[in-house]
């Protein structure tokens, strides 16, 4: 029964995504949903993207092994802050500048072919590394459970994703994410509490008696406070400029939607994670010898919930994979066709050509991803170690300096991106091979970030921005989503009344979410003993 429900829900995802593709009339619809995203749609797609397969497989497995508090405290809240910054700082500013993709910003800001190309290559490598490994991990888990060859599952995944992403673009991604979110919420609010209830909250807390440190911030591995703070900072830096999150702002209808998403969507982000981490700890009570540990939540679905609930749990796991992978296909497809092809060959595509090339690029990306997943080479795991952090060391310093520093120029941007990524890889390998020991809590990302920021500042001080860069900086400072939205509303009948109504809704949602957050997190922290 569990497998039947899983398959039915999966078919629904694909069917809805394919049907939605008929709303795509032009490249604007394909890339940003025509800017028609409502609050509920953007909240849903943001939350669905946040709850990736990494949460349900990798981090849940780590919580099972080391203890839930290690990741449900500083790590989870670091990603919460990063998501907030991705929405209200990076995404909001880029949308105001009419960016369709994140590499668009680099093109608009510097008008430099090579800055755009390097930025796009960083995004392609980062997204493939981040997304494909989740694809592989979930495929391996499911191939064991439903007794279908891994290779066949990868092919079916790829076909399923192409069924709606190649035709519906961001339209299909956002709509299907909204549907998928409801199955994901079932894990957080139904399955996780069921597992915690069967294990017993006190029994989970008492695991420290048999596994020293299990119910502490240090965890069973006795992590230092420096390590915890390091993870907190890493998640902030990574999430702040992650394309999968920032790009979710671009389809938003207006600034009021973005501000409501900032409070509601970001509230859901950690709320969806923490019960899963605690439930993973509960599995240590119910089944203490699960291997590999990545299977812990799937094992919980199948063994400790009714078949119907288990089927929904499996569908939710697939939803996290499909949400992440559909974003991968769409954004990398955009990057290849729009950001890379047009920049390198300096050809401006027509609207029809843009749609065609984007779809062809997605098919190419899908084929490459499928082949990589089937081969499961060690290289992809090596890439995955670095992939997410590429955005933190390669993009973040350049983006922030571009927003805030008048002296910022293309030479500083190019040096910062190249030096940041290069030093990150070099330091990572030296540390892992024991050649370069570092203090506890210091990792390669922090070291590379110093070099990335340092090179940016030095080169910017030694060189000068050109006339275009100075003019665009001035224009950028005069542009904001608030001003754009107010002008749009003023054109409508009763525009002022509509502005006041939307403003009240933003304030009300922010106050309500704040009060709910204080109640929930206060209760949770008391229960956790923090």
- Write down the pTM of the prediction: 0.88
Encoding tokens for residue 146? 């439903």
Nearest to 505 by CA among 320, 308, 255, 323: 255
What DSSP character marks residue 252?
B
Q: What is the CATH number of the domain that holds 143?
A: 1.20.1730.10
Q: What is the pLDDT of residue 465?
A: 95
For 160-222, the three-class secondary structure string (H helix, E strand, C coil) is HHHHHHHHHHHHHHHHHHHHHHHHHHHHHHHHHHHHHHHHCHHHHHHHHHCCCCCCCCCCCCC
Asked whether residue 56 is domain-assigned, the answer is: yes
Place of tokens 């369709």: 100
Asked whether residue 168 is domain-assigned, the answer is: yes
List all residues 6 or more positions away from 508 whose beta carbon is below 8 Å from its beta carbon: none
Q: What is the pLDDT of residue 466?
A: 95
Q: Give the chain's domain count.
A: 1
- For residue 375, the enclosing domain spans 2-17+38-384
Cα 118 from Cα 420, distance rounded (Å):
12
What are the helix (H) ranges across 51-149? 53, 60-66, 69-70, 76-85, 92-96, 102-110, 113-145
Q: What is the pLDDT of residue 24?
A: 79
- Asked if 330 and 170 touch (Cβ cutoff 8 Å), the reply is yes
Asked whether residue 87 is domain-assigned, the answer is: yes
What DSSP character marks residue 33?
G
pLDDT in tens, the chain (530 residues): 667 776 777 777 777 777 777 777 777 778 888 888 899 999 888 888 877 777 777 788 888 998 888 777 777 778 888 888 999 999 999 999 999 888 889 999 999 989 988 998 888 888 877 777 767 766 766 776 777 788 888 888 788 777 777 777 888 888 888 888 888 888 888 999 999 999 998 899 888 888 998 888 888 888 777 777 777 888 888 889 888 889 889 999 999 999 998 888 777 777 888 889 899 999 999 999 888 888 888 889 888 999 888 888 888 887 777 777 777 778 887 777 776 676 676 677 777 777 788 888 888 888 888 888 887 655 444 555 567 788 889 999 999 999 999 999 999 999 999 999 999 989 888 887 878 887 766 778 889 999 999 999 999 999 999 999 999 999 999 999 989 999 989 888 888 888 899 889 889 888 888 888 777 777 766 666 65
Q: What is the pLDDT of residue 385?
A: 56
Asked whether residue 502 is domain-assigned, the answer is: no
Place of tokens 């520093």: 405
Asked whether residue 491 is domain-assigned, the answer is: no
Let me know how long the chain is: 530
Using left for φ > 0, alpha for ψ between -120 and 50, and beta otherwise, residue 186 falls in alpha
Q: What is the pLDDT of residue 281?
A: 92
Tally helices (H) and strands (E) across the chain: 27, 0
- Asked if 453 and 404 touch (Cβ cutoff 8 Å), the reply is no
DSSP codes joined into one string, 345-387: HT-PPPHHHHHHHHHHHHHHHHHHHHHHHHH--HHHHHHHHHH
Encoding tokens for residue 6? 């899983």
Cα 234 from Cα 81, distance rounded (Å):
11
Asked whether residue 379 is domain-assigned, the answer is: yes
Asked whether residue 479 is domain-assigned, the answer is: no
Asked whether residue 517 is domain-assigned, the answer is: no
Q: What is the pLDDT of residue 527?
A: 65
Exposure string of 447-466, with b = 16+ CB inside 10 Å and e = fewer, is bbbebbbebbbebbeeeebe
């Amino acid at each position: 029964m569990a497998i039947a429900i899983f398959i039915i829900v999966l078919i629904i995802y694909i069917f809805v995504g394919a049907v939605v593709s008929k709303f795509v009339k032009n490249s604007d619809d394909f890339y940003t949903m025509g800017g028609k995203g409502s609050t509920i749609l953007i909240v849903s797609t943001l939350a669905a993207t946040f709850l990736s397969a990494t949460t349900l497989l990798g981090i849940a497995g780590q919580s099972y092994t080391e203890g839930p508090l290690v990741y449900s405290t500083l790590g989870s809240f670091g990603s919460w802050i990063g998501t907030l910054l991705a929405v209200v700082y990076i995404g909001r500013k880029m949308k105001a500048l009419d960016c369709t993709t994140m590499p668009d910003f680099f093109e608009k800001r510097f008008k430099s072919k090579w800055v755009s190309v390097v930025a796009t290559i960083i995004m392609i490598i980062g997204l493939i590394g981040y997304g494909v490994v989740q694809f592989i991990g979930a495929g391996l888990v499911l191939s064991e459970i439903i007794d279908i060859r891994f290779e066949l599952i990868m092919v079916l995944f790829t076909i399923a994703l192409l069924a709606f992403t190649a035709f519906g673009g961001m339209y299909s991604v956002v709509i299907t994410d909204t549907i998928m979110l409801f199955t994901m919420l079932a894990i957080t609010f139904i399955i996780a509490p069921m597992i915690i209830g069967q294990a017993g909250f006190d029994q989970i807390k008492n695991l420290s008696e048999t596994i020293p440190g299990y119910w502490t911030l240090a965890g069973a591995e006795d992590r230092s406070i420096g390590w915890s703070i390091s993870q907190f900072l890493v998640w902030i830096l990574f999430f702040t400029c992650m394309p999968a999150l920032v790009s979710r702002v671009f389809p938003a209808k207006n600034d009021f939607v973005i501000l409501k998403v900032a409070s509601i969507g970001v509230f859901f982000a950690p709320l969806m994670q923490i019960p899963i981490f605690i439930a993973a700890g509960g599995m240590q009570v119910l089944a203490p010898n699960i291997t590999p540990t990545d299977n812990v939540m799937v094992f919980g679905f199948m063994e400790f919930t009714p078949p119907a609930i288990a089927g929904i749990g499996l569908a939710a796991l697939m939803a996290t994979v499909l949400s992440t992978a559909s974003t991968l296909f769409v954004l990398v497809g955009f990057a290849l066709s729009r950001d890379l092809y047009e920049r390198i060959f300096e050809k401006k595509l027509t609207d029809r050509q843009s749609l065609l090339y984007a779809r062809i690029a997605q098919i190419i990306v899908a084929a490459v991803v499928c082949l990589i997943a089937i081969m499961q080479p060690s290289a992809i795991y090596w890439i995955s170690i670095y992939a997410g952090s590429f955005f933190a060391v390669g993009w973040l310093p350049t983006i922030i300096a571009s927003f805030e520093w008048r002296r910022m120029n293309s030479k500083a941007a190019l040096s910062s991106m190249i030096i940041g990524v290069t030093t990150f890889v070099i330091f990572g390998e030296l540390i892992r091979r024991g050649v370069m020991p570092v203090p506890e809590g210091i990792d390669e990302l922090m070291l590379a970030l110093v070099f990335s920021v340092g090179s940016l500042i030095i080169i910017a001080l030694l060189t000068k921005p050109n006339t275009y860069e100075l003019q665009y900086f001035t224009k950028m400072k005069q542009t904001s989503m608030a001003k754009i939205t107010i002008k749009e509303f003023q054109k409508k009948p009763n525009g002022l009344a509509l502005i006041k109504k939307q403003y009240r809704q933003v304030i009300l949602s922010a106050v309500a979410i704040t009060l709910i957050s204080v109640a929930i997190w206060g209760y949770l922290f008391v229960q956790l003993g923090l």
